[in-house]
Amino acid sequence: MPPEKEEIAVRTRRFGSPGMFFNALLPLAGMLLALLIGAVMLLILKVNPLTAYAEMVGGALGSVSGITQTLVKATPLLLVGLGICIAFRASVINIGGEGQIIVGALAATWFPLTFRMWPGWLLVPSTLLVGFAAGAAWGFIPGILKARLKVNEILTTVMMNAIALQLMNLLIRSVLMDPAGITAGTYLAQSERLPEQSWLTRLVPQTLLHTGTLIAVALAVIVYIFLWRTTIGYRIRAVGLNPDAARFSGINVPFNQALSLTLAGGFAGIAGAVEVLGVQHRLLEGITSGYGFSGIVAALFGGLHPLGTIPAALLFGGLLVGGDKMQRAVQVPNSLIDAILGLVVLFVVGSALWSRRWAARRQMAAAKNQKELG
Amino acid sequence: MAHGVPTNEKQQIQRVEMCNITKCFPGVLANDRVCFDVNQGEVHALLGENGAGKSTLMRQLYGLYRPDEGEILINGRPYTFNSPADAIEVGIGMIHQHFMLVPTMTVAENVALGLKSSREPMLDLDKVSARIRELSQLYGSIIDPSAYVWQLSVGEQQRVEIIKALYRGASLIILDEPTAVLTPQEVNDLFVTLKRMVKDGHTLIFISHKLHEVMAISNRVTVLRDGCLIGTRLTSEVTRNELVKMMVGRDVRQLNPQPLKSGPVRLEIQGLQAMGDRGTEALRGINLQIHGGEIVGLAGVSGNGQRELAECLAGVRKTNHGTILMDSVDISFMPLKQRIDSGLAYIPEERMRDGAVREFSVQENVFLHDHASPKYTHGIFLDFARMRVFASELVKNFNVKTPGLDTPIKNLSGGNIQKLIMARELSRQPKVLIAAQPTRGVDIGATEYIHQRLLQQREEGIAIFLISEDLDEICVLSDRIAVLYEGRIMGIVERNEATVEQIGLMMAGISMTEAMQR
């Protein structure tokens, strides 16, 4: 066999190998291991882990209410995760999800209250767009700072979170404060309820499940097409994988980094708008529920692939709902739930590393076999 | 200390045998049951293309890697080396391609580094210095032990490495491509030193892929190809062509480009000045004209401004002064994209860093620049069907060996990646091609192909600027040769007008008039 052919034969082996199935199972194995350690912690707290986990699974999946709640929580996770996919694909680290959700929610509160005469078919889409624009603006600022002045985006996005949070605190205690609360003298830190025609349609009666979930899934498909089928997506990926080669090919690297951060902010902004229009129908403190951070984990879990982020967001949504149910059912401290979630993340990330090393080792063995056969 | 007796009471290495050495790396079988032996007082050359497994084999002898299979016998006794310290203990030294010296320390400090002083805890640098003087006199080149390493030339730094190994009592020294960084004159000096060392009873293993050096210095030569042993021959009983055939596995034909009538000036560089990465002056006024249908080679020892010049031309480095004209149009202020669009093609020196996206497929890499061209898009959407047709045509035309268009480019060999980059750059029908180190790290087969392609482009009237550290490559391909030294062009000569030695003198900073008189 001539050497070149041989080389190719060795290298083709990697593709379409049966390892794909194995690699898909590995994160699940990691998760089981994490739950096992969680079981030990539950035992220390003198709680039967089996009943606790039964509550958890049952809580998230065992009823219509559980399933819909899981979907409701998965929606913002997915939306934030989609933005993270775009940013991280460009090698831009966006930690600013929280702030971007907040400004998206702020804009999506202000807009329907201002244009309350508009019909629903016009008001809902335009409010979502306004939410996107607000989040995008919040992502654009760190983006342009990075592009023009090479300011580290991790630093700026975190700072933009603090600014957004305090901005919200200020606004819902002043101009956006619910007039009813002022009249009643309660002065609750929340906005007025939004006009009814701006609410997202509920999909299942008596639950919170709303059309935002469908919008998020549709957007996942769009982001997939965007990243892999369009020129802009191609450039973003090239910039992320090798900024030098991108630059040498005439691609404007800083522009594409700023663009990806802007888009990431936009998706988090939609998440904020969807929370307001679909779940709360008004702006409240704590509207983000930490989705800006857990969305990052969901995206990483989904392999930074928009479609992979869908099941990842569902998984984390389920863990949030199930953990909540478990906590109430077996009376364990809330922090234990956080610890178990943390373990899941740790083990799944660890299993990914392990699988990569495993693949390298298999490849080596394949090379050896091939050589001996040839 | 008498001549030829190693410093300590170490045993002299009479014979080293490496038997059936197998070494695997992820995805590569670097050495496959390789046998190799060397006897005291000989120079044994280890010849092979890049990636043939030469360095890997020797790193196992030096204790940097452990063989997966096989054994190492020294004077008939099996040894296992867990680290270079074990190998040094036995009397093996290795001079790496990249020197392992601390630039901010003196020669003596570098040599003493990691060794026990004779009067701990105090340093014994005077003693070390005396020994360094002794050793450097013995082998023909005077090195000042109190000089800082950063003050030394590359050739001198290499001497320090050799002295370091001798100081540690090495009787067998492995030299990994020692001539890659030297000018032709420095190579001659090195060979003088090496011959003296052999005369004194030292044993040398000389790793190289340059045939004429192997022929000049070695007693025996072992050829590796694709990790396998092809054979060991006495140098006196083998011809260059036989060795090439062993290295490549087939005959390689010699290029002999005929002079062409060159066309109008296509690339003109006037008074170009630019800074290097460290803020020092890298280019100090470059003037050069390249005609259509002409290859101008830029010779020079690496680090004299070649990279900066290429980057200035490509438009990725800021110029401080001077103009660049392409077909009489000033492109000095054009951004890179515009330069490419107006006919400049660039094969970057660091192909995996600047020329390709490792994780992208072959097809995606073809369109790094042209992905947004209306030919391959509908609006913002990529037209995969048409991209595929074009990419497969390129792959076929340029003989790129790949399992498929969707294979990540990182799975291709260096030669095939380079062919693909070249295909991409030439597919735009450029006016000017800048080829920086186009065959570095590329196997002989692909090198041959790339050279043919360059000559073919020359016939089609493109102006080619060939920047290479491989003087042989420059001499074979170029119509004219420009020599770069410390950011200046020392002179431009017609091919055949100057000898390799004269070019070598200019590479060392001797002016053209002076060099041509010698």
Together in a domain, A32 and A120: no
pLDDT of residue A11: 39
Q: Give how many domains chain A has, as a whole number.
A: 2
A238:B360 CB<8 A: yes
B382:A367 CB<8 A: no
Together in a domain, A353 and A228: no
Q: What pLDDT band is residue A266 in, cutting at 50, 70 and 90?
A: very high
Average pLDDT score over residue span A289-301:
90
Domains of chain B: 15-91+171-248 (3.40.50.300), 103-169 (no CATH), 266-358+432-517 (3.40.50.300)
**β-sheet bridge partners, residue B239:** none
Q: Which residues of B touch A249 (CB under 8 A)?
A: 340, 368-369
Contacts of B58 (CB under 8 A, 6+ apart): B46, B94, B174, B176, B205, B207
pLDDT of residue A6: 38
Residue B255 has pLDDT above 80, yes or no: no
Q: What is the largest CA-CA distance in chain B?
A: 81
Tens-digit pLDDT profile for residues B145-161: 998 988 888 888 888 99
Q: Please spell the DSSP secondary structure of B25-75, one letter per residue.
A: ETTEEEEEEEEEEEETT-EEEEE--TTSSHHHHHHHHTTSS--SEEEEEET
Together in a domain, A162 and A255: yes
In a domain, A357, yes or no: yes
* B window 19-38, beta carbon within 8 A of A: 24-29, 32
Residue B356 has pLDDT above 50, yes or no: yes
Average pLDDT score over residue span A243-268:
95
Closest CA to A348 of A295, A301, A293, A294: A301
A245:B355 CB<8 A: yes
Closest CA to B88 of B114, B106, B110: B114
Residue A101 has pLDDT above 80, yes or no: yes
Q: Which residues of A touch B350 (CB under 8 A)?
A: 244
Average pLDDT score over residue span B26-44:
89
Top residue of A249, A253, A368, A369 to mutate, by most chain B CBs within 10 Å, is A249
In a domain, A15, yes or no: no
pLDDT of residue A78: 98
Helices (H) and strands (E) in chain B — how many of each? 17, 22
Number of Cβ pairs closer than 8 Å across A and B?
A: 107
Task: Give the residue on B whose Cα is nearest the Cα of A366.
Answer: B27
pLDDT of residue B208: 86
The full 3-state SS of chain A, as one line of letters, equals CCHHHHHHHHHHCCCCCCHHHHHHHHHHHHHHHHHHHHHHHHHHCCCCHHHHHHHHHHHHHCCHHHHHHHHHHHHHHHHHHHHHHHHHHCCCCCCCHHHHHHHHHHHHHHHHHHCCCCCHHHHHHHHHHHHHHHHHHHHHHHHHHHHHHCCCHHHHHHHHHHHHHHHHHHHCCCCCECHHHHHHCCCCCEECCCCHHHCCCECCCCCCCECHHHHHHHHHHHHHHHHHHEHHHHHHHHHHHCHHHHHHCCCCHHHHHHHHHHHHHHHHHHHHHHHHHHHHCCCECCCCCCHHHHHHHHHHHCCCCHHHHHHHHHHHHHHHHHHHHHHHHHCCCHHHHHHHHHHHHHHHHHHHHHHHHHHHHHHHHHHHHHHHHC
B30, two tokens: 């670097």
| Alpha-carbon gap: A348 to the closest alpha carbon of chain B (Å) | 23
Contact with chain B for residue A229, Cβ under 8 A: yes
In a domain, A365, yes or no: yes
pLDDT of residue A14: 38
Contact with chain B for residue A357, Cβ under 8 A: no
| Alpha-carbon gap: A90 to the closest alpha carbon of chain B (Å) | 13
Q: What is the largest CA-CA distance in chain A?
A: 88
Top residue of A5, A6, A8 to mutate, by most chain B CBs within 10 Å, is A8
- Omega into A3 within 30° of 0, i.e. cis? no
Task: Give the residue on A whose Cα is nearest the Cα of B403.
Answer: A8
Together in a domain, A223 and A341: no
Task: Give the residue on B whose Cα is nearest the Cα of A250.
Answer: B337
Q: End-to-end alpha-carbon separation of chain A, Å?
A: 6
3-state DSSP call for residue B102? coil
A229:B359 CB<8 A: no
Q: Which residues of B touch A360 (CB under 8 A)?
A: 26-27
A172, two tokens: 């819902």
CB B262 within 8 A of CB B479: yes
Q: What is the DSSP letter of B259?
A: P
Q: What pLDDT band is residue B3 in, cutting at 50, 70 and 90?
A: very low
Q: In what order do the strands lie in the sheet with B203-208?
A: B77-79, B69-74, B15-25, B28-39, B228-234, B220-225, B43-47, B203-208, B172-176, B92-95
Tens-digit pLDDT profile for residues B165-209: 999 889 999 999 888 778 788 888 899 999 999 998 999 999 987
Pick the range with the lowest mean pLDDT from A215-219, A307-311, B211-215, B271-275.
B211-215
Together in a domain, A220 and A105: yes
Residues B275, B276, B277, CA angle at the centre, nearest 5°? 125
Pick the range with the lowest mean pLDDT from A242-246, A309-313, B409-413.
B409-413
Task: Give the residue on A whose Cα is nearest the Cα of B226.
Answer: A3
The minimal CB distance from B359 to the residues A12, A241, A363 is found for A241
pLDDT of residue B8: 47
* B window 226-245, beta carbon within 8 A of A: 226-227
A242:B356 CB<8 A: yes
Burial class (CB in 10 A: 0-12, 13-18, 19+), B435: buried
Pick the range with the lowest mean pLDDT from A59-73, A153-167, B435-449.
B435-449
pLDDT of residue B184: 80
Q: Which residues of A touch B368 (CB under 8 A)?
A: 238, 245-246, 249, 251
Q: Which long-range contacts (CB under 8 A, 24 or more apart) does B507-516 make?
A: B507/B183, B507/B184, B507/B299, B507/B300, B507/B301, B507/B483, B508/B183, B508/B185, B508/B186, B508/B301, B509/B485, B512/B483, B515/B490, B515/B491, B516/B491
Burial class (CB in 10 A: 0-12, 13-18, 19+), A365: exposed
ipTM entry? 0.79
Together in a domain, A128 and A43: no
A368:B24 CB<8 A: yes
Please give the residue range of the domain that contains residue A35: 20-47+337-374
**β-sheet bridge partners, residue B329:** B326
Together in a domain, A341 and A315: no
Average pLDDT score over residue span B213-222:
92
In a domain, A56, yes or no: no
B403:A368 CB<8 A: no
Task: Give Cα separations from B387 to A224, B3, B55, B378, B405 (angstroms).
Answer: 19, 68, 40, 12, 10
| Alpha-carbon gap: A14 to the closest alpha carbon of chain B (Å) | 9
A248:B357 CB<8 A: no
Top residue of B349, B368, B369 to mutate, by most chain A CBs within 10 Å, is B368
CB A234 within 8 A of CB B374: no
In a domain, A5, yes or no: no
Q: What pLDDT band is residue A337 in, cutting at 50, 70 and 90?
A: confident
Pick the range with the lowest mean pLDDT from A343-347, B460-464, B505-509.
A343-347
Helix, strand, coil percentages in chain B from 3-state DSSP, rounded to 5: 35, 25, 40
Q: Which residues of A touch B340 (CB under 8 A)?
A: 249-250
* CATH (domain of A134): 1.10.3470
Contact with chain A for residue B380, Cβ under 8 A: yes
Q: Which residues of B touch A252 (CB under 8 A)?
A: 337
Letter for the amino acid at B251?
Answer: D
pLDDT of residue B2: 34
Q: Which residues of A touch B384 (CB under 8 A)?
A: 229
Contact with chain B for residue A121, Cβ under 8 A: no
pLDDT of residue A326: 87
Together in a domain, A26 and A129: no
Together in a domain, A111 and A183: yes
Q: What pLDDT band is residue B346 in, cutting at 50, 70 and 90?
A: very high
Residue B103 has pLDDT above 90, yes or no: no
Task: Give Cα separations from B269 to B114, B285, B313, B329, B404 (angstroms).
Answer: 49, 9, 9, 11, 41
Together in a domain, A227 and A356: no
Q: How many Å apart are CA A299 and CA A81, to the nearest integer? A: 5
Percent of chain A with pLDDT over 70: 89
Together in a domain, A192 and A216: yes
A363:B26 CB<8 A: yes
| Alpha-carbon gap: A238 to the closest alpha carbon of chain B (Å) | 7
Pick the range with the lowest mean pLDDT from A122-131, A260-269, A356-365, B115-124.
A356-365
Average pLDDT score over residue span B108-122:
81
Q: How many Å apart are CA A139 and CA A163, to the nearest integer? A: 13
Task: Give the residue on A whose Cα is nearest the Cα of B367.
Answer: A249
Contact with chain B for residue A371, Cβ under 8 A: yes
Contact with chain A for residue B459, Cβ under 8 A: no
A15, two tokens: 């593709």
Q: How many Å apart are CA A32 and CA A12, to the nearest integer? A: 33
Indicate the average pLDDT of chain B.
Answer: 88
| Alpha-carbon gap: A257 to the closest alpha carbon of chain B (Å) | 17
pLDDT of residue A193: 94
The full 3-state SS of B205-258, as one line of letters, equals EEEECCHHHHHHHCCEEEEEECCEEEEEEEHHHCCHHHHHHHHHCCCCCCCCCC
What sign results for the dihedral spanned by CA atoms A301, A302, A303, A306? negative
A14, two tokens: 């990697």
A237:B360 CB<8 A: yes
Residue A15 has pLDDT above 70, yes or no: no
Q: Write b or e for each residue in B452-484: b if 16 or more Cβ atoms lie within 10 A of its Cβ, otherwise e.
A: ebbbebbeebbbbbbbbbbbebbbbbbbbbbbb
Tens-digit pLDDT profile for residues A71-83: 999 999 999 999 9
> In residues, how long is chain B?
518
The minimal CB distance from B380 to the residues A231, A366, A368 is found for A231
Q: What pLDDT band is residue A362 in, cutting at 50, 70 and 90?
A: low
Q: How many Å apart are CA B143 and CA B58, to the nearest integer? A: 28
Together in a domain, A257 and A344: no
B24:A360 CB<8 A: no
* A window 252-281, beta carbon within 8 A of B: 252
A147, two tokens: 């592009």
3-state DSSP call for residue B423? helix
A367:B368 CB<8 A: no
Contact with chain A for residue B316, Cβ under 8 A: yes
Phi, psi values for residue B516, rounded to 5°: -75, -20
A370, two tokens: 């091939």
Q: How many Å apart are CA B255 and CA A51, to the nearest integer? A: 80
CB B392 within 8 A of CB B367: no
Top residue of B411, B420, B443 to mutate, by most chain A CBs within 10 Å, is B411
Q: What pLDDT band is residue A24 in, cutting at 50, 70 and 90?
A: low
Report the interhelical angle of A64-89 vs A231-241 (nearest 10°): 70
